[in-house]
Structure 1
Amino acid sequence: MTSTVEHSFVEVNGVRLHIAEQGRGPLVLLLHGFPECWYSWRHQFGPLSAAGYRVVAPDQRGYARSEQPADIAAYSMLHLTGDVIGLIRALGEEQAVVVGHDWGAPVAWTTAQFRPDVVRGVAGLSVPPRPRGPVPPLAALREQLGEGFYQIYFQEPGVADAELAQDPATAFRRMLAGGSGDSPMTDPPQAWVIPEGAKLLDAMPEPERLPGWLTEDDIAVYTREYAGHGARAFTGGLNWYRNIDRNWELTAAFEGRSIDVPALFMAGERDLVRAFPGVGELLEALERTMPNLRQVPELPGCGHWTQQERPEEVNAALLDFLAELPPVRK
C-alpha cells in the first residue's frame, strides 16, 4: 500500500485528467461535485486504502488541474460517464466501484445505469438518482423556483464565471460555509435562489467563522487547485449545468431503466438538495429506482458537503458497503 496520496495525469477520451491516488487492491473511484476537486475526498483516501482498496479521485473534466474543453457541449452526461469508463480502462482495470457526491453522484448513478458490466457497485452522497421526466428539467425549475434559482442563473455563459473567478477564495468560503450544516441556509434547508438584481454570492454572505470541518488552509488548497484556469477557473464546472436540458435529450433511450448493481445512498439531514422540487418523492422512490439499494439513515445536522462534514460516518458506511460486494471479476 502506498502511504501517501500520489498525483499524476491520464489521457481519457482526448482530455487530460488529473488524478489523486492511494493504495492497492480493487478500484474505487471517487467523483467530486461543484465547486470541488479531488481534495474533497481528502478524508477518504487513508481509511479506504488502508482497508485494501485502490482509491482514485480525478479532477473531472473542466475542474481544477484537469483540462477544460472550450465547447460547452463537451460536458454532457455522455462525455462525463465516458470519462469514468475511460479512466477505469486507463488505470488498467476492468471494473470499479464508483462513488459520487453532488454532481459526481448523477455521474456515478448514470455510469452504473449505462454500464453495469463495469460498475460493480455504486454509491451516491447528497443527490439521489432522478429518473428522466416528461419535459426538459430547466423549464420545470424556472416555473417552480424562478430565474434566480442558481442552476438557472448559471445558464448564461460568462456571468457566474466572472463573479466566482473575481475572488476564488471568497467564492469557496461562502459556498462551502453556506451549504454546511452549521449555516442558517440549512436550518431548515432552502434552495439557493439569487434575489432579483443581486449577484450570485449575495445569497451566501461571508460567514462570521468557518464551520468546524473547514479551515482557511482548506480554502487555500481549493483556490490553488483552481488557479491554473485563471479567469475561467469555474467555467468548466459551470458548463456541466449548461448541459442539463441536453442531457435530458441525450438520455431518452434509457428512460425507465433502473440501477441494478448494488447501491448505497447517504445524505445529510440539512442538505440544501432536500429543498429542491421533487426530491422528497425521489427519496421515497429510491428502492424502486435501485432495487439493490442499501440506504444509510440520514446524517443528523449534516449539510451538503457530506464526506467533508461527516468523514467518519461516511467512511464507515463505505467500508461496510465495499466489504459486502461480490469479488472483483477475474
Structure 2
Amino acid sequence: MTLDASMALIDGPWEHRFVAANGARFHVAEQGEGPLVVLLHGFPQFWWAWRHQMGALAEAGYRAAAMDLRGYGASDKPPRGYDTHTSAADVASVIRSLGESEAVVVGHGWGGWIAWSMPTLRPSVTRALASVSMPHPLVFRRASFTRAGQVRANAYLAGLQRPFVPEREMTVHGGYVQRLLREWASPQGIWPSPEEARTYSDAMAVPFVAHSAAEYYRWLVRSQVRPDGWTFARRMRTPISVPVLQLHGEHDRSVLPETGVGSAQYCSGTYEHHVVARAGHFLPEEAPDAVSAHLVRWLDTVAG
C-alpha cells in the first residue's frame, strides 16, 4: 500500500488547515482560542506528537497550533530549505499566516533546536520559547565534541550523512523509526504502543518525508565546516532576552540529561530548567501530564 500525506490528517478535537508561508504550504492542526502557541515536533515524528498538550493548552485558554515542519506530514516537501535559517523563517511566516504578529514557540527535539533559534533569527515574532529535550544549540554542539556519552548517542547522525541509504532504511517496514522510538524512550516506561510506533513509521514512509528528515541533519553536520554554520553559531551567541522554559527527560538516551545542562549562560531573561523523572526523549508522549502542567503554568506567567 502506498501511503500519502493524508495519513497525517488524523481526526480529533482539533481542526486541520493549510497555510501559505515562506514560499511553501504548511499543514497546521489547531485547537483552542487565545494567545497563540506554536508547537514544533522533532525527529522522527510529525505534528501528532503534541496531541496531548493541544487539549491541555486549549482548556487553559490558549490557541495551540501544531505544525508539520517543512518536509514532514502534510506540509510541502521541497528539495531544499532544511537549514535552520529557513526553518526559523518558516515558523515566523506561519505565525503571520495564522493572523498573529507574535507567538510563544514550543519545540521538541529538532523542533526545540528551531525554537532556540527563533529569538535570535526571528525576534519580532517570538514572545517566549520552550524547548523540550534539546538544550541551546551551542550547548548541544559543544557536548557533541567534548562529551563521550553524547558523541556515542549521536551515532545516528553519522548514518544519516550517507546518500540514499538512510531514506531506504527509514521507509522499509518501519524498522528504523520504531527502533529509534524504543531506544530513545525511557526503559522504565511503556511508550510507544504498537499503534503509536506504526503511526510514526507510516508517516516516515510517505514519499519524500525520509529524505527531508535526513536533510535537516545533513545540514546540521555539514554546516560545522561551512560559512553558513559558522554564521549561525556566531549569531546564536546573542543573549536570549525572552522567557525560556527547558524540559528534559531523566532517561533521555538521544540528548543525554547531562547535555541538557548549561543553556542558562545564553539567557539574559527569565529561565527555567526542569528534569522530568522516569521519562526519556519523547517527553510530550512519555510524560504528557507533566509536560502539559509545566507548559500551562509557565505560559500563564509569560503569555496569559
Matched, 1:95 2:107: no
1:29 to 31, 38, 42: 38
Gaps of 5+ in 1: 184-210
> Letter of the aligned partner of 2:163 in structure 1?
P
Alignment CA distance shift 1:89-1:114 (3 Å): same
- The 5 A counterparts of 1:2-21 are 4-21=13-30
**Code of the aligned partner of 1:312:** D
Instruction: Establish whether residue 322 from structure 1 lines up as the match of residue 299 from structure 2.
Output: yes
Q: Are 1:181 and 2:186 an aligned pair? A: yes
How much has 1:120 moved relative to structure 2? 0.8
Q: Is the 8 A contact 2:41 2:109 kept in 1?
A: yes
Q: What's the CA shift for 1:14? A: 1.5
Q: Are the equivalent residues in 2 in contact too, given 1:161–1:235 (CA < 8 A)?
A: yes
Q: Distance in 2 between matches of 1:314 and 1:86?
A: 26
Alignment partners' CA distance in 2, 1:317 and 1:162 = 38
Q: Is the 8 A contact 1:268 1:303 kept in 2?
A: yes
CA distance in structure 1 between the aligned counterparts of 2:28 and 2:242, rounded to whole angstroms: 25
Quick one: distance in 1 between partners of 2:22 and 2:15?
22
Between the aligned partners of 1:221 and 1:134, the Cα distance in structure 2 is: 31
Structure 1 residue 224, shift from structure 2 partner: 4.0
Secondary structure at the counterpart of residue 298 of structure 1: strand
Contact 1:38 1:59 in 2 (8 A): yes
- Corresponding position: 1:269 with 2:247: no
**TM-score normalised by structure 2 residue count:** 0.85
Q: Distance in 2 between matches of 1:34 and 1:10?
A: 22
Q: What's the secondary structure of 1:303's corresponding residue? A: coil
Equivalent pair of 1:113/1:257 in contact (CA under 8 Å): yes
Q: Provide TM-score, normalisation by structure 1.
A: 0.79
Find the aligned partners of 2:101 and 2:87 in 1 and give their Cα distance: 18
Q: Secondary structure at the match of 1:237?
A: helix
Q: 1:5 to 1:153 in 2, by over 3 A?
A: same
Q: What is the one-letter code of the residue matched to 2:54?
A: F
Equivalent position of 2:129 in the other structure: 122
Secondary structure of 1:182's aligned partner: coil
3-state SS in 1 of match to 2:66? strand
Larger Rg computed on CA atoms = 1
- C-alpha separation between the residues in 2 aligned to 1:139 and 1:288? 19
Task: Please name the residue that 1:233 is paired with.
Answer: 209
The answer (yes or no) to whether the contact 2:144–2:151 under 8 Å persists in 1 is no
| C-alpha separation in 1, matches of 2:34 and 2:106 | 16
Residue aligning to 2:235: 254
Give 5+ residue unaligned stretches, structure 2: 1-11
CA contact (8 A) 1:287 1:293 kept: no
1:227–1:233 Cα contact (<8 Å) kept: yes
Q: Which amino acid aligns with 1:263?
A: V
* Aligned counterpart, 1:295: 272
Per the TM alignment, residue 255 of structure 1 is displaced from its structure 2 partner at its CA by 4.5
- Number of residue equivalences: 287
Identity of aligned residues (%): 33
Q: Secondary structure at the match of 2:190?
A: coil
Q: 1:63 aligns with which of 72, 77, 84?
A: 72
Superposition map of 1:200-239 within 5 A: 211-229=189-207, 232-239=208-215
Shift of residue 212, structure 1, vs aligned partner: 2.3
Check the 8 A contact 2:104/2:303 in 1, yes or no.
no
1:292 deviates by 2.4
Task: State the partner residue of 1:44.
Answer: 53
- Residue 192 of structure 2 aligns with an amino acid whose one-letter code is L
Q: In structure 2, what is the Cα distance between the partners aligned to 1:127 and 1:133?
A: 8
Runs of 4+ displaced beyond 6 Å: 132-135, 137-142
Query: Any idea what SS the aligned residue of 1:321 has?
Result: helix
Residues 41, 107 of structure 2: 8 Å contact kept: yes
Q: Secondary structure at the match of 1:10?
A: strand
Distance 1:296 1:112 in 2: 18
